[in-house]
Amino acid sequence: MFVLGLPYAILHGGYLGLFLIIFAAVVCCYTGKILIACLYEENEDGEIVRVRDSYVDIANACCAPRFPTLGGRIVNVAQIIELVMTCILYVVVSGNLMYNSFPNLPVSQKSWSIIATAVLLPCAFLKNLKAVSKFSLLCTLAHFVINILVIAYCLSRARDWAWDKVKFYIDVKKFPISIGIIVFSYTSQIFLPSLEGNMQNPKEFHCMMNWTHIAACILKGLFALVAYLTWADETKEVITDNLPSTIRAVVNIFLVAKALLSYPLPFFAAVEVLERSLFQDGNRAFFPNCYGGDGRLKSWGLTLRCALVVFTLLMAIYVPHFALLMGLTGSLTGAGLCFLLPSLFHLKLLWRKLLWHHVFFDVAIFVIGGICSVSGFIHSLEGLIEAFRTNAED
């Protein structure tokens, strides 16, 4: 979904933005591999065995024995922020797309967001990933249609592509936001431990990571470049807003469908993390179990789920800036979960077995990721404050 913001990243970064799309793919592929390496240890017989199951287990192992649960709680907070912000972005983009598709209707962007949230309320009743997977399948089909329509329109205007507009110039104030957008489009580390654990042949994990990141890098780079060449300096935060009104309405309807169908996965994942850490963590749980003895969700637990849906709506209404919000999230949690924590955990858990170049890569990724994270967060926050001031003046 967030590929729609990549042409906006090229607008403020030019060729360096394209380079970052490639660089982020390489780094995220590497950190995904080292994160999985932290799940394994060598036993007494010299065999490599899986001793941890999740990102949280890795974090707790790094903080043991002094603070055995501190690392897990930090990762849980980062995961919840990332997942909830993703849900908020889906509501924001739904309202934005519907408003721009039907500008003549007397319905504001906030009102469209409210309508989208009303459609999403049944997500509170989701019980398992099997139900979520059906929405994800439909989401994938919608994505194919969207890509074909946007790329076909861009290719039809290939004669007018503005190659001279793609430069090495960097907008120093806005480019850090682009870094957050690019990073956020690659975030998958929180799902990798579970994914690797469910593979029929976990030994193929590295091969899978290589090919998926190569494919993602090529497709994202081409989409961002082709879209930017078509509209150049007129490129908007959500690239479909640049399409002619007739095509835009069709594409945006598919995009809204995709956003609504994408919402259940991060919502369900966020609910699982919240329930596991706050309501089901044995004696360490902060609140009583939200499930009854028969395994059914209690009424107050369902109310809390509905409240989470409403919370994403309220955030979407008061922070309706897609690219800035995506940049903020990518800089705040995306960089932490994708760059900082995996390299830190790798150094801590496998320090004695690492070769010098692995240590160099981990330290370099941690330092560069930290600088990019802080810079992107500050500039995204400044951008949001400026946008709020502009809205207030209007």
Q: Give CA–CA dist 100/241, Å, rounded.
A: 7
- Going by their DSSP bridges, the two strands 48-50 and 40-42 should be labelled as antiparallel
Number of H-type helices and E-type strands within the chain: 15, 2
Q: Which pairs from 62-65 meet CB under 8 Å and 24+ separation?
A: 62/344, 62/345, 62/348, 62/349
> CA–CA distance from 36 to each of 32, 50, 194, 342 (Å)?
6, 9, 10, 9
Q: What is the mean pLDDT of each run of 10 residues along the chain (394 residues)?
A: 79 85 92 94 85 89 84 85 85 84 84 89 81 84 85 90 80 72 79 84 93 92 90 83 83 88 88 77 60 68 85 80 65 79 92 90 91 76 73 60
Tokens of 240: 């479909």
| Other residues' Cβ atoms within 10 Å of the Cβ of residue 149 | 18
Adjacent-strand bridge partners of 48: 42
Q: Tell me if 87 sits within 8 A of 266, measured CB to CB.
A: yes
Report all structural domains of the chain as residue ranges with CATH numbers, in order of start: 2-393 (1.20.1740.10)
Q: Give CA–CA dist 185/334, Å, rounded.
A: 9
* pTM of the complete model: 0.78
Predicted pLDDT of residue 75: 87
Predicted pLDDT of residue 322: 60
Residue for token pair 């992107």:
376
The three-class DSSP label of residue 218 is helix
Q: Tell me if 285 sits within 8 A of 278, measured CB to CB.
A: yes
Which burial class, exposed, middle or buried, applies to 174 when counting CB atoms under 10 A from its CB (0-12, 13-18, 19+)?
Answer: buried
Q: Tell me if 44 sits within 8 A of 20, measured CB to CB.
A: no
Tokens of 94: 């739904």
Q: Tell me if 113 sits within 8 A of 310, measured CB to CB.
A: no
> CA–CA distance from 150 to each of 122, 181, 250, 356 (Å)?
31, 20, 11, 46
Amino acid making up residue 380? S
Closest CA to 84 of 294, 349, 332: 332
Bin 40: left if φ > 0, else alpha if -120 < ψ < 50, else beta: beta
